[in-house]
Amino acid sequence: MPLKDTEKKLYDDNTEIEKRAHSDSIFDLNYENRKTDKENKFSAKKKWWNKIPFFQIGDETRAIIYIGIIALGSIAMISGIVLGVYKFKKTAFAEDRINISITGKENVNSAQAINYFIEYENKNRTALKNVEILLNYPENFYPEKSENLERVSDRSSKILIGNLKAHSKGKIEIKGKFYAAENYTAYLQATMRYTPANFNSIFQIKSQIGVRILSSPIKIKLKIPKEALNESSIEYEINYTNDGSIPLNDLNLKVVYPDGFTYQGAEPAPIDQLEKGNIWHLGELKVNDTNVIKIKGKINGNRNDVKLIKAIIFKNGNNKKEIIYSKTDGLTKIVVPPLMITHKVNGESFSNVNLGDVLMYKINYANKGDINLRDVIIRLKIDSPIIDYQNMKLKTGAFEDASKTITWKASDIEKLKNLEPGATGIIDLEIPLKKEIKITDATDKNFTIKSLVTISSSDVPYDALGASKNISNEVIIKLNSKISLENQIFFNDKIIGNSGPIPPKIGKETTYTVHWRIYNLSNNISNTQVKTHLPTWVKWKGKTSPENENITFNSRTNEIIWNVGGLSAGTGYLSPTKDCSFQIGIVPEINQINKPIDLLLETTLIAKDDFTSSVSTVKSGIKTTRIPNDKEVDATGYLVTE
C-alpha cells in the first residue's frame, strides 16, 4: 500500500487499522489498560498474602531466618553422611559372618591313619588379622608332624594363619591316629582366634567333631575257667599285644577282681603287692610285643553265682585321669557238685609262715547232693622241703612218705562209709615246720608249702563233678625269709680303736665300738633299716665303718639309723654278711658308781620280704657296759669305779 494511503487510514476517524493484529507494546492503549487490570487483581491477592505473619516481618529478620534454614539443612546433611559412614563401617564386620568347621570320619579304628579338614571363612568386608587356630584333642590322638602344626602340649596344637582377607576362606588338613579302647568316643575341637582390622578386641569361634573308636590297638585276651568250685583255687591268664604301628609308653594294667576273689600271687608281681595286688606297670609296649601275666587266687561264691573279672590297660593323663587303651572282661560260674571239700591253714586260705611254726590244718567236707555217697575217700597231699615230717603227729589217717599224702577212709572216720545228704565233717591236724633249713645254692629260695585236698566217692565218677576232674581245694603257703641281726659291743676292736679305762671310771671317757651284722636266708628283702637310740649320757663319736655306709645320727633325738636297702637271699650263708660299725663314748657320773651303764637302747631291724610281701621285724634288747662278746674284758669290767 502506498505511504499516502496508509497515512489517510491512520488519521481517518473511521479507520480500523488499530484492529490489525500486532504484538503488545507500551504504545498500545489496550495493552496498557489490560496491564493495569492485572496489577489491580494482584494487589487484591497481595492483601491476603500479607495476612501471614512470616511476611509481615522485616527483610533483615527474614534474611536471618533464611540463613538458619540453610545452616540446619547443612548440619542435617553432614549428620546423614557421618551416620551413613558409621553404619557402613559397622556393617563391615559381624561375628556371624565368620565360619569354621571340622569334618572327617566319625567312626574309625585305632591306629588307622585318618584325615580331618578344618575349613574357615571370612564373609565380612573387613579383613582379619592375627588369625590362629587352636586344635584340642585327647591324649590318645597322635597328630602327624606338619609345618603348619605347632605342638603346644600333649592335648593341643596351634596353626598360625596370620591375615585373612575380606570375603576369603581357607582349608587345613590334619592327619593323625587314635589309640583308644573299643567304643571310646574322642573329640577334636578347633577354635579360631582373630582380631578384625577395624577392632582391637580378640574374637573366637569354635567347632568340634566326635569320633567313635571301633577297635583298640592293644588286644587283651583273658584265659579263665568257665566254671569253678566254691572256695577253690583259680588262675587267670592275661595276654596283651600291641597291634598298632607305634610303640606305646607308660602303660599300666589294672585288674578288677570279682567279688569273693582272694589274691594269692602273680607272675610277674604287681606294683601294689601289699595292697590289692591288681596294678601292673607295663612300661613300653613295642609294636607286636606280646606279654603274659598269670594271677593265682581263690574264689568263693554260691551255686550259680557269676564272677566277673575285668582287665584294663591305661595310661595316666596329666590330670591323673585314666586314658583307657583297651579293656576286656570274662565270666566264671560257681558250680557246687554233690561232694564239697575245703581246707584252711591257721584259719586262712592264704598266709605267710616262719620256720619253726606249727601249721593248724582244718579240712571241711560235706555231701551237698540228694543221695547217699558211699566209700568216701579224702586225701591231703602236702609236699615241701620245709615241713618236719618226722615230728608230724596224726590223730587219724595214714601218711605215705613217697607221695607225701595223708589218706582218710571209712576205717579212720566211720561216716565216710555212707555220707548222707547234708552230712558234714571236719578233720583237724597239726603239721610242724623245720626250725632250720640248709641252702646250698642260689636256687634255694622262695619256699612254699602247697597242700591239695581231694574227695571222691564210688557213687560219683570224677568227670561228673562239675568243671574239675575231681573235687579238690588247694592252699599255698609262703615262707618268710629268716632275717637275723647280731648286735654286739666291743672295747678291744680291730676296726675302730677305743680308749679309756676299763672298768669305766667317774669323770673319764671310755669309748666302745658297736657292731651290727645282718643275715638273710631264703628270700630277697628290700627297704631294710636298722634303728636304735643312745641314752642321753652316751655320746656319738662320729666314727663309722665302712665309711661309705648310709648311717646317720640325730643329735636332738639321739637316734641312729642305718639305711641298708636291699639284700639278696643267702646273705651271710652263700655270700658275706652285711656289716656296719660305729663308735660311742661315756663319761660316768657319781650316781652311776658300782653300776653297769646302758650303752644302747632297744635296736630294731625292719625289712620288706620281696617274695611274701610281708614286713619283717627283728628286735635286739638293751646293751650295757657288760660286753660278754669281748673276751679280753674282765668279768667285772662293766661296773663303774671311782
Strand partners, 141: 178
Name the CATH topology of 339-479.
Immunoglobulin-like (2.60.40)
The predicted-structure confidence for 413-439, as pLDDT tens digits, reads as follows 999 999 999 999 999 999 999 999 999
User: With helix as H, strand as E and coil as C, how does 124-144 read?
Assistant: CCCCEEEEEEEEECCCCEEEC
- Bridge-partner residues for 227, per DSSP? 333
Mode of pairing for the β-strands spanning 377-383 and 405-408: antiparallel
Q: How confident is the model at residue 350 (pLDDT cuts 50, 70, 90)?
A: confident
Tell me the per-residue pLDDT of 152-165, one tens digit each, with 9 for 90 and over. Answer: 888 899 999 999 99
d(CA 55, CA 76): 26
The stretch 4-13 carries a mean pLDDT of: 56
Q: Is 140 within 8 Å of 325 (Cβ atoms)?
A: yes
In order, the DSSP letters of 383-422 are E-TTB-GGG-B-SSSEEETTTTEEEE-TTTSGGGGEE-TT
For residues 576 and 579, what is the distance between their CA atoms, to the nearest angstrom? 9
Burial of residue 525 (number of CB atoms within 10 Å: 0-12, 13-18, 19+): buried
CA distance 511 to 489: 10
The CATH 2.60.40.1170 domain(s) of the chain lie at: 483-624
The CATH superfamily assigned to 218-335 is Immunoglobulins (2.60.40.10)
Of 559 and 335, the structure prediction assigns the larger pLDDT to 559
List where CATH 2.60.40.1530 sits in the chain. Answer: 95-213
CATH for 483-624 (3.40.50.980, 2.60.40.1170, 2.40.110.10, 3.30.365.10): 2.60.40.1170
Confidence of residue 468 (pLDDT cuts 50, 70, 90): very low
76-80, 395-399, 438-442: segment of lowest average pLDDT: 76-80
Q: How far apart are CA 129 and CA 163, in angstroms?
A: 4
Mean pLDDT across the chain: 86
Rounded to a whole number of angstroms, the CA Rg of the chain reads 54
| pLDDT exceeds 50 at position 464 | no
Q: What is the pLDDT of residue 386?
A: 95
Contact 341, 456 (CB under 8 A): no
Mean pLDDT in residue range 175-204: 88
- In the chain, the largest separation of any two C-alpha atoms, in whole Å, equals 197
Q: What is the pLDDT of residue 168?
A: 93
C-alpha–C-alpha distance, residues 129 and 133, integer Å: 12
Q: Residue 240: in which H helix or E strand, if any? A: strand 232-242
Q: State residue 6's pLDDT score.
A: 55
Task: Give 269's DSSP letter.
Answer: P
Per-residue confidence band for 30, with pLDDT thresholds at 50, 70 and 90: low
Q: What percent of the chain has pLDDT over 70?
A: 86
Superfamily of domain 95-213: ntegrin, alpha v. Chain A, domain 4 (2.60.40.1530)
Coil vs helix vs strand at 63: helix
What the block records as the C-alpha cell of 215 is: 577297635
Provide the CB-side half-sphere exposure for 448 (13 A, CA): 13
Asked whether residue 449 carries a pLDDT value surpassing 60, the answer given is yes
CA pair distance 60, 66, nearest whole angstrom: 10
pLDDT value at position 316?
A: 80
Question: In this model, does residue 296 exceed pLDDT 50?
Answer: yes
Domain with CATH 2.60.40.10 in the chain: 218-335, 339-479
Identify the pLDDT of residue 564.
96
